[in-house]
Structure 1
Amino acid sequence: MAIQFIKKITSSRSHSLLSLRHKTTSSQYVASRFRDATFEKFMDNYKNLLKVISIQDLILANPNNPPSVSVDFLNRLSQKLHLNRGATAFLRKYPRIFEIYYDPSLSKPYCKLTPTAMQLTKEESAAIHNTHPLVIDRLTRLLSMSLSKTLPLRAIFKVWRELGLPDDFEDSILSQNPHLFHILDAHEPNTHLIKLVGTPSSHENLTAAVENWRIMEGCKDDCSVDRTEMRFSFKHGYPPSMRLKKNFRAKVKEWQKLPYTGPYEEFTSVKKRSKTGVMEIEKRAVTIVHEFLSLTVEKMVEVEKISHFRKWFGIDLNIRDLFLDHPGMFYLSTKGKRHTVFLREAYERGCLIDPNPVHVVRRKLLDLVILGRRGLRSGDYKLSSSESEEDDDLQEMEND
């Protein structure tokens, strides 16, 4: 009976997405979503990039010259890093990024970044440094969306990479701009808050990304949205393989006509008693998360990370279900044992339509991940030293 029920909800697919969460559990709702092959293919590679970045961060955190980390240490972290076959096997998959060498003084194999990978880390740091005004803009906008113009520092730490912040942003951004940001002590131990205390003159009237789209779309001769509905609408797009039924299209059209409250506008909560009230609350929540994703470097983020901001943005809804309710705007992937949401309108054929300097550098690292060992001879990804005892030591680790 349970199997028949699951089959029934998964076969219904997109036409009942706006009402499905009320009839199923959250996990069933995720399982029943439409799968977009383009984003899923992208995540197949991106999930490995995240593992590469985790190891890269461990290497760069080491003060050695050159920065390095022992292979034995990485093997002990294999489960936490989701390295199914162990660290050694994973490192050997990416010889353009990692180089394994033997330290005779410590009698241990170590791992360091290749010159190419080290160069990319320098390029990314330079790109972030050169975009400090954009970093300040993102932080200002993020804090402006908060009901109290305040956010916990730990929540910002969760998304520092997604926002393109420098790893020392407390010193290089917050401390250097005391006229904009104050760090306050919270009521909880070891917790601090960032408060927006001022705004640049250029930020007096913040414009949301969706509002810029409406202006540009309204100027087109072949505008796809009725101009009378434009002021409340969001851009929607669906892959050709996603079949939309008339009932679903009607619900989307009704939702598009609902009044719009911008992410930077003062929001007066409405009562949830009426259907319209619930939909207005939902539309504001969509407005907030849409702008949040627009502020990220790669127009994507883990759902769990956004959830840390939910209370501060005044979102009283399940964030994950919110993304599933609006498949024309967002795409949710579950690859890599994490839920990642994409801003659909920012992508075309798996690539950002409007890439930025930081993303361009990160894309180069992703390209190295995609290449893997391809194009290299079998000996090119062995140990840099030729001593046989080093190979034996690594082989023992692989067998473990």
Structure 2
Amino acid sequence: MLSTPYALFSYLRSFKSAQSSFVRRKFFLQIRAVSSLKVIWRKDSRLDEAIENDKRYKLCARVVREVLNEPGQVIPLRYLEKRRQRLRLNVSIKTFMSFNPGLLNTYCDRIKPKSEPVLFLRPSDRLRGFLEEEKRITMENEALLVSKLCKLLMISKDKLLSVDKLVHVKREFGFPNDFLVNLVPKYPEYFQIIGSPGDEKSFLQLVSRNPNFAKSVIERRAEDESISTGIQIRPNFNYNLPPGFFLRKEMREWVRDWLELDYISPYEDVSHLAQASPEMEKRTVGIFHELLSLSLFKRIPVPILGKFSDEYRFSNAFSSVFTRHSGIFYLSLKGGIETAMLREAYKGSQLIDCDPLLEIKDKFVELLEEGWRERAEQRRQQAKQVRNDMEFMAARADA
């Protein structure tokens, strides 16, 4: 209650000061072009380790896919040998198989009726067992796959995406190889293919918008916190700089004011926003946050994200967002490929909240580890036999 003229004067002065401060900060945001804000990239060895840990698994998965994609799921060994460079395999196929037993079997057959028999590769019984497990896990998570596909379409400006581009990113989000043939036709209320899937200009279009899918991870998190605390929580990004990382004062002030801007959902229409505005920057960060959240490993190679620049209204210099907002993202250079990672999804090098579809990866790793254990045991037995033979020969020499 403002009972005195002096109290009223003080209140009006403080209000005017706060209002002036807000205007100055908003003006500061507007006059500083987003592209002029530079943050020096710094290495985060823990997040790089997360990529390194999956290196062997991904290499094995690439080789297996190469065989499974062949007609009849068989391929002459020498043909696969010629594809080593494309598979980024720096050892021979035979050496790869000896390092990773239990994946592929060899057998002899003729390429042509009158040609000499050659070695062929085909999936092992263990690998076929894994493929059945993969089908089961995929079927159990069909609703999740449908929601992911709907969300990717809902974020796009025209609510449609190129079929070729979707096929290219299917593994990043966990879509099965046959999702266009077996998943999409089951949900005509959501999806429609324009053109033939084999055509260059074929697209997947969203037929209807499900409001249940139109909430981002950040919005759902704010709702959950509001319910648990009884306090209305404002949706916003978690901003945590890694240890030893500091921003210049100018950048700290910009980030502070930028975080105070209203969160803009990636599912909102933003055609009215200027491309270079701080509000558009906030929406772009929201899109990247959502895309990485939808991905299996909460990380996506930057070149893959770049394929959707037109559909998601990314600027040409969109990758600078990941270094400019180092408290939200990390840009890994591991393996010579820029990979955008979501910081909040990791504790050290380990994923915190794993996508249910990652059970497929876990089953595949179990298959690999079983073969590695068998190889290690075989090598131990061979070493033991060599020692026994040497001891026997030494005993005979002494006699």
TM-score by length of 1: 0.75
* SS in structure 1 of the partner of residue 331 of structure 2: strand
Matched, 1:74 2:80: yes
For the structure 1 residues 101 and 134, does the alpha-carbon distance in structure 2 shift closer, same or farther, using more than 3 Å as the test? Answer: same
Deviation digits for residues 98-117 of structure 1 (CA, Å, limit 9, x no counterpart): 34534266643333444443
State the distance in 2 between where 1:324 and 1:371 align.
40
1:189-246 CA deviation, whole Å, 9 max, x = no partner?
A: 631111111134xx3672111111223345666x9xxx89x63520123333434555
1:36 corresponds to which letter in structure 2?
D
Counterpart among 224, 237, 240 of residue 243 in structure 2: 240
- In 2, distance between residues paired with 1:137 and 1:160? 14
Q: Which residue does the alignment assign to 1:261?
A: 264
Name the CA shift for 1:95/1:380 in 2 (closer, same or farther; >3 Å): farther
Percent identity for Structure 1 against Structure 2: 25
Relative to structure 2, which stretch is displaced further, 314-323 or 71-80?
314-323
CA contact (8 A) 2:57 2:365 kept: yes
Q: How far did residue 185 of structure 1 move?
A: 3.4
Question: What's the counterpart of residue 84 of structure 1?
Answer: 90
Change (3 A) 1:341 1:119: farther
Cα distance 1:133–1:20, how it changes in 2: closer, same or farther (>3 A)? closer
Match of 1:166 in 2: 176
Count of residues in correspondence between the two structures: 344
Q: Distance in 2 between matches of 1:342 and 1:260?
A: 20
Conservation of the 8 A alpha-carbon contact between 1:124 and 1:358: no
Whether the aligned pair in 2 keeps the contact of 1:299 and 1:342 (CA below 8 Å) is yes
Matches within 5 A, 1:195-206: 195-200=205-210, 203=211, 206=214
* From 129, 146, 167, the counterpart of 2:139: 129
What is the deviation of 1:378?
7.0
Q: Deviations over 1:75-116 (max 9, x none)?
A: 1011111112333333332224x3453426664333344444
1:103 lines up with 2:71 in the alignment:
no
Structure 1: state its 5+ residue gaps: 1-17, 382-400
TM-superposed deviation, 1:305: 1.5
User: CA offsets, 1:265-295, max 9 Å, x none?
Assistant: 11133336xxxx5322211111111111122
Distance 1:90 1:268, change over 3 A: same
Match for residue 59 of structure 2? 51
Distance in 1 of aligned mates of 2:308 and 2:222: 26
Aligned partner letter, 1:345: E
Query: Using a 3 Å threshold, how does the CA distance of structure 1 residues 303 and 313 change in structure 2: closer, same or farther?
Result: same
Tell me the residue number matched to 1:144: 154
Distance 1:329 1:23, change over 3 A: closer
- Paired residue type of 2:206: L
What is aligned with 1:210?
218
Tell me the equivalent position of 2:339.
340
Does the CA contact (< 8 Å) of 1:260 and 1:283 recur in 2? yes
> Following TM superposition, by how much is the alpha carbon of 1:60 offset from its aligned partner in structure 2, in angstroms?
1.5
> Which of 255, 270, 273 in structure 2 is aligned with 1:270?
273
- Residue type matched to 2:77 in 1? V
Give the 3 Å change call, closer, same or farther, for CA 344–379 of structure 1 in structure 2: same
Structure with a larger share of its residues in helix: 2
- Answer whether contact 2:163 2:204 (CA < 8 A) is retained: yes
d(CA) in 2 for partners of 1:75, 1:47: 20
Kindly indicate whether structure 1 or structure 2 has the higher relative contact order, using CA contacts under 8 Å at least 6 residues apart: 1
In structure 2, distance between residues paired with 1:245 and 1:374: 51
Distance (whole Å) between structure 2 residues aligned to residue 183 and residue 89 of structure 1: 43
Counterpart amino acid of 1:270?
Answer: L
Following the alignment from structure 1 to structure 2, what is the Cα–Cα distance between the partners of residues 87 and 137?
39
Give SS of 1:148's match: coil
Aligned letter for 1:260? Y
What is the TM-score when the length of structure 2 is the normalising length? 0.75
1:35 matched residue in structure 2: 43
Q: Give the alignment's Cα RMSD to 1 decimal.
A: 3.4
Distance 1:205 1:179, change over 3 A: closer
- Where 1:142 maps in the other structure, the secondary structure is helix
Q: 1:173 is aligned with what amino acid? A: L
Matched ranges for 1:371-386 at <5 A: 373=372, 376-377=375-376, 379=378
**Cα distance in structure 2, aligned partners of 1:104 and 1:91:** 19
SS at 1:195 equivalent:
strand
**Residues in 1 aligned to 2:128 and 2:42: alpha-carbon distance in whole angstroms:** 39
Contact in 1 for aligned 2:126/2:367 (Cα 8 Å):
no
Higher mean displacement: 135-144 or 112-121? 112-121
CA contact (8 A) 1:59 1:112 kept: yes
Closer, same or farther in 2 for the Cα pair 1:68/1:189, shift >3 Å? closer
| Secondary structure of residue in 1 paired with 2:127 | helix
Alignment correspondent of 2:308: 309
Unaligned runs of 5+ in 2: 1-31, 111-115, 381-399
- Counterpart of 1:155, as a letter, is K
| Superposed counterparts of 1:177-192, under 5 Å | 177-185=187-195, 190-192=200-202
Larger displacement relative to structure 2 (310-319 or 211-220)? 211-220
How far does residue 43 in structure 1 lie from its aligned partner after superposition? 1.4
Q: CA deviation at 1:364?
A: 3.8
Q: 1:33-80 CA distances to partner (integer Å, 9 max, x unpaired)?
A: 22222221221232333222221112222344xx43332112101111
Deviation at 1:315, TM superposition (A): 2.1
Tell me how far 1:375 sits from its aligned partner.
6.4
Higher radius of gyration, 1 or 2: 2
Equivalence for 1:327: 326
